[in-house]
């Protein structure tokens, strides 16, 4: 991997003290520590917290840490590559930036800085419906593959307009998030008194403000079942309708149960993203790396399967790919890098992950993404103590 230099263009000036920052940051966890020191408590809470008690958010990371890798020896890996084809397009690595709202909470240039770093590192970026920079402005300044994350809106004409805007701006795919019809229980936000500051607004939705004039809060004495957002929840027919409205590939994000695979495929979708929303919606659901094999088996190679949740190391990516994922999405660490060092921080986060991925592949004897899937690097027969002892003999 080439050395990372400060990323800059005519619109975004470089951040100060980057050389010292990059020299002292060794891994993604270092960025997390620095971001927590820099950001106001309420903003840190919003960016970092999981739903309720944060159990699923912790499980996502712990599950990856608990999976052992079983490397293969004496395999030639010279001239190896992390490249892959995804939805008919070349990607330099199986890493994409997950859709996340309001990057302006982490840095004044928000998604512009993130997209700049994505371009520098040839990394796909999924832009959120709730981005703090318009989807059109991100596209005008981007040099990376762009996908647009979409929530199905309660008014079909708004959904259609958002799809049309993404198509005209040059986005290459739509990612429809289905696991967040209402906001999760964010106790940490409540305790910290978080409120969106003026610079972090859902600018993509502002043209529809009058039609979307509703609150996400449940009033005292009100049943959640009677909330307007619940009444307007999309269903499988809504997803099938959406797929028919666009020529872009459509991925569905938020599936964790194998029983949801066939209904999704029946809608004509082009890919599945296994996700529990980073543990930010429903607490207590399993870690994504645990449910991934079930989804992969149900899909049966009919469409690509991607996964997010808890990825903090290049070896985490190897584990996800070994369990059947075609690619991964990385979320919170991107915002940590953005908060610490702007676009260069994001580029450095991606650089660290890509370098760790390549090092892990070399040490595992995998010269390609296909090798990771085929070499038995997470051989389930090795997971119990007896098998381990027998293998040692």
Q: Would you please indicate which residues are annotated as catalytic (active-site) residues?
A: 277
149 is in an annotated binding site: yes
CB 318 within 8 A of CB 360: yes
46 is in an annotated binding site: yes
82 is in an annotated binding site: no
CA atoms within 13 A on the CB side of 39: 30
300 is in an annotated binding site: no
Q: Between the CA of residue 104 and those of 90, 173, 231, 344, what are the distances in Å?
A: 29, 24, 31, 15
- Spell out where the chain has E strands: 84-86, 89-91, 95-97, 124-127, 146-150, 173-177, 250-255, 271-274, 305-308, 327-330
Count CB-CB contacts under 10 A for residue 167: 16
Six-digit token string for 25: 């940051």
User: Can you tell me the distance from the alpha carbon of 54 to that of 102, in angstroms, rounded to the nearest whole number?
Assistant: 21
Of 41, 38, 57, which Cα lies nearest the Cα of 49? Answer: 57
365 is in an annotated binding site: no
313 is in an annotated binding site: no
308 is in an annotated binding site: yes
311 is in an annotated binding site: yes
Of 223, 214, 249, 255, which Cα lies nearest the Cα of 236? Answer: 255
222 is in an annotated binding site: no
23 is in an annotated binding site: no
Of 285, 299, 313, 204, which Cα lies nearest the Cα of 251? Answer: 299
332 is in an annotated binding site: yes
89 is in an annotated binding site: no
122 is in an annotated binding site: no
Q: How big is the CA angle at 56 (ends 285 and 305), to the nearest 5 degrees?
A: 65
User: Can you tell me the distance from the alpha carbon of 313 to that of 335, in angstroms, rounded to the nearest whole number?
Assistant: 16
CB 328 within 8 A of CB 306: yes
177 is in an annotated binding site: yes
- Grouping H, G, I as helix, E, B as strand and the rest as coil, residue 272 is strand
275 is in an annotated binding site: yes
117 is in an annotated binding site: no
186 is in an annotated binding site: yes
Residue numbering of the annotated binding site for FMN: 99-101, 128, 149, 177, 253, 275, 308-312, 331-332
Binding-site entries: 46, 99-101, 128, 149, 151, 177, 186, 253, 275, 277, 280, 308-312, 331-332
Query: Could you tell me which residues are annotated as the binding site for glyoxylate?
Result: 46, 151, 186, 277, 280
């Amino acid at each position: 991997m080439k050395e990372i230099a400060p990323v800059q263009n005519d619109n975004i000036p470089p951040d100060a003290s980057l050389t010292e920052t990059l020299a002292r940051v060794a891994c993604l966890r270092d960025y997390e520590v620095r971001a927590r020191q820099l950001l106001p408590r309420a903003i840190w809470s919003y960016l970092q917290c999981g739903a309720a008690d944060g159990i699923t958010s912790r499980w996502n990371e712990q599950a990856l840490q608990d999976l052992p890798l079983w490397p293969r020896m004496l395999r030639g890996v010279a001239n190896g590559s992390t490249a892959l084809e995804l939805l008919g397009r070349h990607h330099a690595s199986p890493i994409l930036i997950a859709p996340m709202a309001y990057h302006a909470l982490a840095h004044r240039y928000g998604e512009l800085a993130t997209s700049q770093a994505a371009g520098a590192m040839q990394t796909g970026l999924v832009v959120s419906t709730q981005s703090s920079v318009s989807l059109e402005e991100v596209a005008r300044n981007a040099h990376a593959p762009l996908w647009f994350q979409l929530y199905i809106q309660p008014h079909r004409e708004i959904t259609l307009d958002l799809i049309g805007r993404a198509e005209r701006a040059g986005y290459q795919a739509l990612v429809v998030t289905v696991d967040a019809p209402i906001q999760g229980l964010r106790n940490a936000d409540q305790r910290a008194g978080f409120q969106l500051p003026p610079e972090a607004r859902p600018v993509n939705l502002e043209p529809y403000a009058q039609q979307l004039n509703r609150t996400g809060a449940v009033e005292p004495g009100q049943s959640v079942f009677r909330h307007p957002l619940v009444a307007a929840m999309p269903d499988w027919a809504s997803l099938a309708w959406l797929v028919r409205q666009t020529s872009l590939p459509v991925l569905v994000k938020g599936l964790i149960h194998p029983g949801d695979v066939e209904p999704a495929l029946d809608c004509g979708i082009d890919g599945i993203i296994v996700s529990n929303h980073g543990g930010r919606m429903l607490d207590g659901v399993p870690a994504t790396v645990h449910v991934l094999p079930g989804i992969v088996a149900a899909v049966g190679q009919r469409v690509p399967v991607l996964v997010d949740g808890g990825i903090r190391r290049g070896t985490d990516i190897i584990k996800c790919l070994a369990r059947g994922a075609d690619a991964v999405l990385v979320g919170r660490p991107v915002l940590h890098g953005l908060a610490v060092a702007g676009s260069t921080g994001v580029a450095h986060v991606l650089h660290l992950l890509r370098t760790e991925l390549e090092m892990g592949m070399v040490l595992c004897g995998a010269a390609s993404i296909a090798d990771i899937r085929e070499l038995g690097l997470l051989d389930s027969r090795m997971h119990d103590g007896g098998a381990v002892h027998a293998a040692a003999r």
